[in-house]
Amino acid sequence: MVYHIEKQSGLLLPAEFIESPNQDDRPDTSDIDLIVIHSISLPPQQFHGEAVKAFFQNQLDPDAHPYFTEIAHLKVSAHLFIRREGQIIQFVSFHKRAWHAGKSEFAGRSGCNDFSIGIELEGADDIPYTLIQYTTLKDICILLRQSYARITNDRIVGHSDIASGRKTDPGSAFEWEFFRGLFI
Instruction: Decide: helix, strand or coil at residue 97.
Output: strand
Q: Which helix (H) or strand (E) holds 11?
A: strand 11-13
Q: SS3 string of 139-183?
A: HHHHHHHHHCCCCCHHHEEEHHHHCCCCCCCCCCCCCHHHHHHCC
Which residues form the catalytic set? 120
Instruction: Decide: helix, strand or coil at residue 10.
Output: coil
Tally of CB atoms within 10 A around 145: 17
Instruction: Decide: helix, strand or coil at residue 133.
Output: helix
